[in-house]
Each structure stands twice: as C-alpha cells, then as structure tokens.
Amino acid sequence: MPDSITIAGSVVPVTVRAHPRARRLIMRLDARKRSLRLTVPPGVAARDVSAFLQARTDWIESRLASLPPLSDTGLPAALPLRGACVSLHATGRLRGPIMLEGSTLAISGETAEAARRRLIAFLKREACGDLEEAVARHCAALGVRASAIRIKDTGSRWGSCSSGRVLSFSWRIVLAPPEILSYLAAHEVAHLVHMDHSPAFWKTVARLDASWRMHDRWLKDNGQKLMGAL
C-alpha cells in the first residue's frame, strides 16, 4: 500500500487501514499532522488506492493550502480565540500568567516550546470553562445530566458521548465562535437522550439550537483549519 503521496513538491504521509465494514474508500486529512488517513474495504488492491489518491490531488492540495503554516516548535503569529483573531507574543520570561491585552496574547516561557505548552494549557482551561457552562445550560433545558465532561486533544473528532454519559470535547473548539461551541455542546447533550442521529435526535438538537444547520455547516467548512491552527 502507498505510504505517501507527493503534493506540490511536498511529501504527504498516508496511512491505510482496512475495515471489515467499509464498502468504499474514505479519505480524511489530519490537519495537525498534515497527513492522510484512508479507510478501505478488505482486499482492495494497492494500485486502486494509488489511483484513488492521484485522482484527488487537487482536493488534497487545496485543503493543505488552506491550513496555517506549520511551526516546528514555536508559535504561530496569530490564532483565533472564540472566533476573534489574536496575535501571539512570546515574552521570553520564565514565569508569568498568560495575559490578553487588547488583541494580543502575551505568553511566558523560556523557550518557544515551553510557551507553546503554556498556550495549549491556557486554551484547554478556557475551553473547559466555556463547555461546562454550555453543557449545564443545555442539560437544564432537557432535564438531563452528564456524568462527566472531558477535554481532549483529538486529531479530527470534535466531540463524543459515551454509553456512560461522559461528554468529551476537543479543546480546539474554543478557537471557534461561541455559537459554534454552544452548538457542539448541544449536539453532544442531545446524545444523552438519543444515542444515534435519528430524526428524533435532530429535533432535540433543534430545541437547543434553532440555527444548528448553519452552525453544523460552519464547523464542517472550518473544522480542519481549526484543527491545524496549533
């Protein structure tokens, strides 16, 4: 099976996984790793996988081009926070709180990598606070309770609801506008009532977010950019 494809002069890693229930080839872009993941039916030939990739080089190139530039260890120049663009400034100080001054986020850390770790920890805390508020509000509207809320560092999945009523979210949702975070919370809270995507599930989502279609489309259109932002 192919383990990479060259796009616009850059080598893009490819991971191919056969799944017994797959009926067709499905490709996903991991925005953080700048890599491709293919799920294929059992027994599919390597040449068919290669042809599938080659037929989609334009799509892959356009998606990669839409992502912010990668930084080896440091910080991007700017980042969205609750939908608003903020500039990032590494102070170089060993210690000190992360401070938002106007549209600039000042981040301490003796090295660029230390500043990056502190920034991610800060964003996780912000995401946790926003999600706890949104989940509590939506749970109250439906008269349900989640057993726990977990903030994770996922590569492509924004949220999930386990059979044990644990709601999990990617911390990167705090980069999106507040109404998108609220929609994601509503989506997962609705799974506390319906553990599927049936019409009844979507009616429950609509009770919590009348504009859920628009918010769902926004997340589909912009999700990969957010996943690759940091």
- The pTM of the whole model exceeds 0.85: no
Q: What is the pLDDT of residue 71?
A: 53
Q: In the prediction, which pLDDT does 229 show?
A: 80
Q: Give, as one character, the DSSP assignment of residue 82.
A: T
Q: Where are the beta strands (DSSP E) in the chain?
A: 4-7, 10-18, 26-30, 35-40, 78-81, 84-90, 99-101, 104-107, 148-152, 159-161, 166-170
Tokens 């926070």 belong to residue: 81
The amino acid sitting at 149 is: I
What pLDDT, on the 0 to 100 scale, is given for residue 70? 56
For residue 56, what is the DSSP state? T
Architecture of the CATH domain 78-227: 2-Layer Sandwich (3.30)
Q: Give the SS3 label for residue 139.
A: helix
Q: Which pLDDT score, from 0 to 100, does residue 114 have?
A: 80
Q: Where in the chain is the domain with CATH 3.30.2010.10?
A: 78-227
In whole angstroms, give the CA distance from residue 220 to residue 214: 10
What is the side-by-side strand order in the sheet with 104-107? 78-81, 84-90, 104-107, 99-101
- Per-run averaged pLDDT (10 residues), the chain, 230 residues: 86 91 88 85 91 92 77 71 89 75 82 82 96 98 97 89 96 98 99 97 98 97 86
